[in-house]
Amino acid sequence: MRVLIVEDEVRLANNIAEALRERCGFAVDCAEDGAEGAALTEYQHYDLLLLDLMLPGLDGLSIVHRVRKRKDMTPILILTARDERANVVELLNAGADDYLTKPFDLGELLARAKALIRRGKGVSHPVLTVGRISLNTVEQTVRCAGELIDLSPTEYRLFEYLIFRPRAIVSARELLEHLYDYNWEHHSNVIEAHISNLRKKLRAVGEETSIATIRGRGYRLEAPEKQL
Amino acid sequence: MRKISLTRQLIAGVLLAELLCAASFSGLALAHEMHGRRRAFDVMLRGRADSVLGAVQDAEDPEDNVAVDPTELVLPNQDAYEVLSPSGRVLGHSPASSPDLLAALGASAKPGYFSFKVKEAYYRALRLNGVRIIDRDDNGGIRRPVTVLYAAPTHDLWHEAVEAVQFYVVAGVVLLAITGLALVWFLRRRLSPLQELAAIAGRVSARSWEFVPPGDVLRTSELAPIALSIEGLLKGLRQAFERQRQLTGDAAHELKTSIAVLKSSLQLLTLSPRTAGQYEAGLAGLLTDTERMEDLATRMLALARLEEAPVESNESSDLPSILRNVAERLRPLANLKQVALEVTADATRKVALPADDAEVLCSNLIMNALQHSLPQGRVSATVQSHNGATELRVKDEGEGIPEAALPHVFDRFYRADRSRSRNSGGAGLGLSICKAIADRSNGAIRIQSALDQGTEVTVTLPEN
């Protein structure tokens, strides 16, 4: 999952980014001003937008308007130092999904971020299952019939992205865009290597669920029909 | 307190004027009528006196007297007449008249008209000296001089005059009533913009600043200035309130953001077990965050103090020496940023500023200039006398301030470019503090800037 933080207080942005990377395994980009943030949202790489309200260049509310105007459904979490009711109502009406007032609890922010991403992908429970496999987004663990599968952080992130969209074809480009931030060199063969490792680990526990490669189009998480 | 109604006063005033007008008009009409009727009455008196004179005849008695023959006279009963011989002997009188009346009639000795009163009745009378020629023949006859006194009561005269004027009086009263009612209606109607204005002004409160004077009010020359001045006043007040609210909001925003940084840094450290090195780095970051927060709190408190208390009149400080000290303290920072810091302040100049305020003023201005300077740039600070005041100028060769931002640079928490200023550590209070210091000592501060050429701040302080 990839998150964009638009926050002019650099120390705060870095703290949030660090926590999201560490605890959720998300790829995180930071923008210091509103205009830059709004430009980044146009790529639609993000699974969540975290916006400060008072920003130089373009304020958070205007970014919400822009994003929603082009029918972008990406969940938006607003960080605000102002908690006046009128402000909050205006924000939510403009299309923001949730808000947190500063100073906030980092743990709460992480939980809300994860919940918003889940909701954005049409899932309400933090544990997702395909076949005998279950993925716990809170613990960041994958189990097969209760037995833990040891995955590297990148493998976990890949699997997490795929399990949110079972049976859909996900291109290598999309995976790159949603799993890595801008500091990463983009090479699609990196994805191929991680997918292959993931397949081996799933096979090792005797799971029928597999990741198919659709030539020239991408990857697909496939499970035996009756078990889905 | 009793309220005074303009409408009522106006109506009462106009009606009173109309009443006076009607009364004096009726009075004049009555006087004119009386005058005309009196003249007619006098003519009538004369005519009747003449007919009495005509009734004087030879009395056919031995003394060859004359007498009045009443049978020839047709006169009103209440009239009285008396005919006297030159010697004063009564030759005849009206038969029905009372002795009192005849006595009063005979009291006048002068010929001509006169008035008198008998038993509550007013009379007007004429004393006429005439000559009656008796036994007229070719030789002319015998001339018999007589005096005729004739009186008639005047109460009918008064009644007739009043009756004649009555029409005018009634018409006047009716007109007065009509115009009074018309006036009430008209005034109510014409004064409605005033009531509208009052109603609209009454709706204004600290929560609702809406004040749009209606067209009626603005078209009324007496009301337009009031409406416009209320509008202007409310606009000013509203802006002041907005500024205050903005300020509180901004202060809260700054404080909450600072706390958010601190809290998130701490929570990040405790999210998972760290190595000693990570803890050290984290603690160093926390210390920086705390120092920034401390700086913010100090500046906010300094500003509050500066704006609250007026300066003690006897406090003064030597601005050039303070400027030199501050510059020396900041020189390491200037060297680090590769900026040349030049100070021109040699003479001693006392200004009406407490020493610590003067220090804050100098250091804020120089720090600002250094922060906005590019490497290899130059910052100059000078103190000089100008028109009996002391001028402190701090000039940099930095990127300058956009013209649109210039009017706001002294606003609290204002940052022309927030992201960059935030990284360089300011909370947008430095120039506000400088302005507060200048204002507190009756000085002035102004700023000139050109993009890519630099900024110059000039503080003018009264000399002590």
Q: What is the CATH number of the domain that holds A36?
A: 3.40.50.2300
pLDDT confidence of residue B405: 81
For residue A134, the domain's CATH number is 1.10.10.10
Under a CB-based contact definition with an 8 Å cutoff, are residues A186 and A136 in contact? Answer: no
| pLDDT over threshold 80, residue B41 | yes
Q: Write out residues 262-281 of B within 8 Å (CB-CB) of A.
A: 262-265, 267-268, 271-272
Under a CB-based contact definition with an 8 Å cutoff, are residues A87 and A115 in contact? Answer: no
Amino acid A85 reads R
Average pLDDT, chain A: 86
For B50-58, which contacts have Cβ atoms below 8 Å and span 24 or more sequence positions? B50/B128, B50/B130, B51/B75, B52/B81, B52/B83, B52/B148, B52/B150, B53/B83, B53/B128, B53/B130, B53/B132, B53/B146, B53/B148, B56/B83, B56/B91, B56/B92, B56/B132, B56/B144, B56/B146, B56/B148, B57/B134, B58/B134, B58/B135
pLDDT in tens, B424-462: 445 678 888 898 888 888 889 999 988 888 899 999 988
Assigned token pair, B258: 């600072």
pLDDT confidence of residue A98: 92
Mean pLDDT of A48-52: 93
| pLDDT over threshold 60, residue B82 | yes
Choose the final residue of a domain: A120, A140, A173: A120
pLDDT in tens, B280-337: 998 998 998 898 888 888 888 888 888 776 666 677 888 899 999 999 999 998 999 8
pLDDT in tens, A63-91: 999 999 999 999 999 988 876 777 888 88
Cis bond leading into B213, ω under 30°?
no
pLDDT confidence of residue A123: 82
Q: How far apart, in whole angstroms, are the C-alpha atoms of residue B237 and residue B242?
A: 8
pLDDT confidence of residue B186: 87
Choose the final residue of a domain: A89, A120, A151: A120
Q: How far A81 CA lies from chain B's nearest CA (Å)?
A: 5
pTM passes above 0.80:
no
pLDDT confidence of residue A75: 94
For A138, the domain range is 127-227
For B365-379, letters b (16+ CB in 10 Å) and e give bbbbbbbbbeeebbb
Q: Do B261 and A22 touch (CB under 8 A)?
A: no
Would you place residue B423 in the very low, low, confident or very high pLDDT band (cuts 50, 70, 90)?
A: very low
pLDDT confidence of residue B293: 87
Instruction: Check if the interface score ipTM surpasses 0.85.
Output: no
Mean pLDDT of B7-25: 86
Check whether residue A101 and residue A153 sit in a common domain: no
Q: How far apart, in whole angstroms, are the C-alpha atoms of residue B381 and residue B328?
A: 12
The Cβ-side half-sphere exposure at A186, using a 13 Å CA radius, reads: 11
Assigned token pair, A185: 């060199």
Check whether residue A98 and residue A170 sit in a common domain: no
Check whether residue A92 and residue A35 sit in a common domain: yes
List CB contacts (< 8 A) between A5 and chain B: none
Check whether residue A15 and residue A114 sit in a common domain: yes
Q: How far apart, in whole angstroms, are the C-alpha atoms of residue A153 and residue B127?
A: 147
With CA atoms as reference, the chain B residue closest to A16 would be: B264
Check whether residue A164 and residue A138 sit in a common domain: yes
Q: How far apart, in whole angstroms, are the C-alpha atoms of residue A218 and residue A214?
A: 5
pLDDT confidence of residue B313: 64
pLDDT confidence of residue B311: 63
- Where are any strands of DSSP class E within B231-365? 317-318, 340-344, 350-351
pLDDT in tens, B124-168: 899 988 888 877 777 777 788 888 889 988 888 888 888 888 888
Would you place residue A51 in the very low, low, confident or very high pLDDT band (cuts 50, 70, 90)?
A: very high
**Cα dist from B436 to B153, B254, B300, B389, whole Å:** 98, 20, 12, 18
DSSP secondary structure letter of residue A132: T
Q: How far B263 CA lies from chain A's nearest CA (Å)?
A: 7
Q: Do B267 and A10 touch (CB under 8 A)?
A: no
List CB contacts (< 8 A) between B264 and chain A: 12, 15-16, 19, 103-104, 106
Which structural domains are found in chain B, ordered by start? 6-162 (3.30.450), 203-307 (no CATH), 310-462 (3.30.565.10)
Check whether residue A80 and residue A147 sit in a common domain: no
Mean pLDDT of A125-153: 87
Q: Do A9 and B422 touch (CB under 8 A)?
A: yes
Choose the final residue of a domain: A120, A139, A159: A120
Mean pLDDT of B243-252: 78
Check whether residue A37 and residue A116 sit in a common domain: yes
Check whether residue A33 and residue A100 sit in a common domain: yes
The Cβ-side half-sphere exposure at A219, using a 13 Å CA radius, reads: 23
pLDDT confidence of residue A226: 54
List CB contacts (< 8 A) between A22 and chain B: 268, 271-272
**Backbone φ and ψ of A211, nearest 5°:** -105, 115
Check whether residue A37 and residue A65 sit in a common domain: yes
Under a CB-based contact definition with an 8 Å cutoff, are residues A87 and B253 in contact? Answer: no
Under a CB-based contact definition with an 8 Å cutoff, are residues B300 and B430 in contact? Answer: no
Q: Do B261 and A19 touch (CB under 8 A)?
A: no
CB atoms within 10 A of CB A203: 12
Check whether residue A31 and residue A83 sit in a common domain: yes
Check whether residue A15 and residue A71 sit in a common domain: yes
Would you place residue B5 in the very low, low, confident or very high pLDDT band (cuts 50, 70, 90)?
A: confident
Would you place residue A111 in the very low, low, confident or very high pLDDT band (cuts 50, 70, 90)?
A: very high
- The whole-angstrom distance between residue B372's C-alpha and the CA centroid of its chain comes to 53
Check whether residue A108 and residue A179 sit in a common domain: no
Q: Do B256 and A12 touch (CB under 8 A)?
A: no
Q: How far apart, in whole angstroms, are the C-alpha atoms of residue B420 and residue B371?
A: 10
Q: How far A18 CA lies from chain B's nearest CA (Å)?
A: 8
As for how many domains chain A has, the answer is 2
Q: Of A63, A68, A65, A40, which Cα lies nearest the Cα of A52?
A: A63
| pLDDT over threshold 80, residue B353 | yes
Mean pLDDT of B44-49: 90
Out of B252, B262, B267, whose CB is closest to A81? B252
